Amino acid sequence: MSLPAIAVKSLVKTFGDTTVLHGIDLEIPQGQVSCLIGPSGSGKSTLLRCMAFLEEATSGTIAINGETLGFTENVRGVRERVPAAANRAIRAQIGMVFQQFNLWPHMTALGNVSEALKLVQKMNRKEAEELAMAQLVKVGLESRAGHYPSQLSGGQQQRVAIARALALKPKIMLFDEPTSSLDPELTGEVLNVMRDLAAEGMTMVVVSHEIGFAATVGQQITFLDHGKVQFSGPPQEVFKKPRNPRLEQFLDTYLDRGASMLM
Ligand SMILES: Nc1ncnc2c1ncn2[C@@H]1O[C@H](COP(=O)(O)OP(=O)(O)O)[C@@H](O)[C@H]1O
Ligand SMILES: [Mg+2]
């Protein structure tokens, strides 16, 4: 077994008095697509944000390719902050795409992708724009490089956001409901870009209600409910009986039952 891309151990996250994640243990394998499903409010976004260190865990640890992110914890539970420079290097292995595309409205597609390279990687303009263009080609938006976000469809904007994350050469990509704010006819183009990325062997964690995508592209499906992992396993075990009763209820309530035909 190779080292997991992400190893989450006993992760607890509280906001004030509310515990949102109740001791999550989860391993994300290298080079696979892991899908995270679960009802609204179950803690999917919080878990993803902890993996990207956009949130600090309350207790427990997260290791990225074997290196502990944020805080180490000894056997007595004493936590110690990972030095900032080391932590930045670990975080840099992670790219994230959100439901809201968060593009800069005053910059073109090319500008949006190259800006991060100039800011984060201190590249000069020419270098940054070359690399940015290569990423736009990859997501099929070569001809839209000079367009501003307002001139692009939602699907195109999300593909720019994916290109922007990929330009920073992450080893792991996290997607939080990347198609949830898109009209149905635009989700396909985004899912296709994600499929291509999966085929290249990118390690991906995808929160999505697109059960067809999870069933066909996902290799590990994790069902989160009330801040706990209720089930984690290959798609065949999720979508075929025997099922975890809570998972079955979730699939009945939230998802298109037609998806089970895919398995
Ligand atoms: N910054 C925050 N402050 C307080 N509560 C939060 C915060 N972020 C999330 N929560 C709460 O944590 C729970 C899980 O939220 P979230 O991770 O967004 O769930 P999901 O993505 O599965 O819908 C929700 O009850 C939500 O209200
Ligand atoms: Mg969410």
Residues lining ligand 1, CB < 6 A? 15, 18, 20, 38, 40-46
**Rounded mean pLDDT of 14-31?**
97
Edge-first strand listing for the sheet containing 33-37: 94-97, 172-176, 203-207, 33-37, 220-225, 228-233
What is d(CA 102, CA 96) in angstroms, rounded to the nearest whole number?
11
> Whole-prediction pTM value?
0.95
Q: What is the pLDDT of residue 245?
A: 86
| Residue nearest (by alpha carbon) to ligand 1 atom 24 | 41
Between 86 and 250, the higher pLDDT residue: 86
Query: Is the pLDDT score of 71 beyond 70?
Result: yes
Query: Is the pLDDT score of 199 beyond 90?
Result: yes
Q: What is the pLDDT of residue 263?
A: 46
Measured from the alpha carbon of residue 250, the closest ligand is 1
Q: What is the pLDDT of residue 214?
A: 92
Q: What is the largest CA-CA distance in the chain?
A: 56
Q: Please give the mean pLDDT across all residues of the chain.
A: 93
What is d(CA 201, CA 199) in angstroms, rounded to the nearest whole number?
5
**Share above pLDDT 90 across residues of the chain, in percent, rounded to a whole number:** 84
- Label residue 221 by pLDDT band (50, 70, 90): very high
- What's the CA-to-centroid distance between 46 and ligand 1, angstroms? 6
- What's the CA-to-centroid distance between 85 and ligand 2, angstroms? 29
- What's the CA-to-centroid distance between 19 and ligand 1, angstroms? 10
